[in-house]
Structure 1
Amino acid sequence: MMRPILIILFLMLTFVSAKSQKFQPGFFIDRRDQKVEGLIRTNPSGKAPIKDEGFIVYKDGPKGTETRLSASDIKCFVVGPDSFVVAHAPHNTTWTAQELDFVKVVLNEEVKLYVINGGSTGGGGSGFSFHPGIAIGAGGYGGFGGGIGTSIGGGGNEGKKGKITYYYGINTATMNELTTENFNDAMSDIMGDEPQALEAIRSGKFTVGNINGLILYFKQLKAAHQPAK
């Protein structure tokens, strides 16, 4: 029984991983706050334009010229439902891949929830590839909204290679790492507008290990307040 499941899982991961290597419609905001639309590849290989910085590859159309944009060239970028902002590792911590990189906005609330993959490969910085433990979801920049999709695996909180690390803060300059010790307080600050989510947090129903379930629950609660289309 396990073998067919593993085969299906492998095919899903291969498909999404291959997709993540392709250009996808999106836009970026440059340092002058100009919005530039086109096609973006989020996890490129090769040498980075600037050492110790994550980067993306952009082109204005299918036959356009590819341009490598370093993290210091832009403020944020959006690909499909996913939003990313430029950030330094918070406080006195370091990231193993780059000093300046992209973090995904998982929840765009007053206190925001960010995530970064610690298992970067190649020159692409954050390396948001789809594999067990990596949450794939929507985010938000400015007024673009927020969200979360699904994940395969546990979704732990370890900042080691191949793992992910969650951060929370009003903005990237105030980010703190989400840990077992501060999980309840931090997630309560983020989800304070939803009493049912707060109760689930305080009752211990959710922890760092199953944070994806909490995020999905929170989004469902918020969606229930939205007027029907």
Structure 2
Amino acid sequence: MLRTLSFILFFLLAATAAYAQKWLPGSINDVKGNRETGFINPYPSGKGPNKHEAFIEFKTDEKMNPIKLSAGELRSFIAGKDSFVVAHPPGNGSWNGKELDFVKVVINEEIKLYQGKGAGGGGGFKIRPGFSGGVGLGSGGYGGVGGGLGVSMGGNGNRNGEKANVGYFFGANTAEMMEVSAVNFNDIMLDIMGDEPAVANEIRKNKFNLHNIESLIDFFKKVKAANAAQNTQQ
């Protein structure tokens, strides 16, 4: 009996955790400049309103039925502590057949670092002749909110039920976005993070690369926060 109750309790806790991860508090900004707060499922399954665009699910309160919003209806959204902006894939390409998708703003400096679908296999970024990339929507300094739950894309992160490699992109905005590669990694990271000497020194020592870029991002954020706190106290 006790074992059965323990199993039921474990199942309920797991289901609650899964639901909490699926629906995150946040806000949306649509193409008309309207902002609305509520709950967001950033990686829904099934088909969206427009087959050529990624989509999210949104509801203003936990009890209402969610609505599907395609990337073309939005400029950006916040889910948990993470900020996302709408973007065309760089160059003449597509993300899993999508001409519009969302990329996460990982570092919001003058040159920004974005996370999205990567190049190569696994249904990620692929060049598709005949598609005009057009102009993406710039992030415009749209930052995330502190604390709360974050959205993890991971190596097998998916949007709309599709597997995708994770890639990193850089640019002043999404219209100028290009992919970070092994060849340009050090130069780009120095451009983004070079104002922090301790971080720049580690990059020049080749301590980081695409395989451990998340460690570099964490290191940069910790150093920047520590320096900001020290400057505040002075």
With the shorter chain as reference, the TM-score category is 0.7 to 0.9
Q: Any unmatched runs of 5+ in structure 2? A: 1-13, 125-138, 157-161
Mapped contact 1:107–1:146 kept (Cα < 8 A): no
Give the share of equivalent positions with the same residue, in percent.
Answer: 47
Equivalent residue number for residue 166 of structure 1:
168
Q: Give the 3-state SS of the residue equivalent to 1:29 in structure 2.
A: strand
Residue 67 in structure 1 maps to residue 67 in structure 2: yes
**Gap change, CA 1:28 and 1:15, over 3 Å in 2:** same
- Which residue of 192, 208, 221 maps to 2:223? 221
Residue 25 in structure 1 maps to residue 25 in structure 2: yes
Query: Where in structure 1 do 4 or more consecutive aligned residues deviate above 4 Å?
Result: 14-17, 118-121, 149-153
Residue 183 in structure 1 maps to residue 185 in structure 2: yes
Q: Any unmatched runs of 5+ in structure 1? A: 1-13, 122-139
Equivalent residue number for residue 199 of structure 1:
201
How many equivalent pairs are there? 194
- TM-score, with length taken from structure 2: 0.72
Mapped contact 2:83–2:144 kept (Cα < 8 A): no
Mapped contact 2:190–2:200 kept (Cα < 8 A): yes
Shift of 1:46: 1.5
Work out the CA distance in 1 between the residues paired with 2:60 and 2:222: 35
Shift of 1:226: 2.4
Shift of 1:163: 2.0
Q: CA RMSD in A?
A: 3.3
Shift of 1:96: 2.1
The aligned runs of 1:75-224 (5 Å cut-off) are 75-117=75-117, 142-145=141-144, 161-224=163-226
Mapped contact 2:28–2:77 kept (Cα < 8 A): yes
Q: Give the 3-state SS of the residue equivalent to 1:167 in structure 2.
A: strand
Q: Give the 3-state SS of the residue equivalent to 1:65 in structure 2.
A: coil
Residue 57 in structure 1 maps to residue 57 in structure 2: yes
What is the letter of the counterpart of residue 202 of structure 2? A
Q: Give the 3-state SS of the residue equivalent to 2:219 in structure 1.
A: helix
- TM-score, with length taken from structure 1: 0.74
Shift of 1:223: 0.8
Work out the CA distance in 1 between the residues paired with 2:73 and 2:153: 33
Shift of 1:91: 1.4
Shift of 1:181: 0.4
Shift of 1:164: 0.7
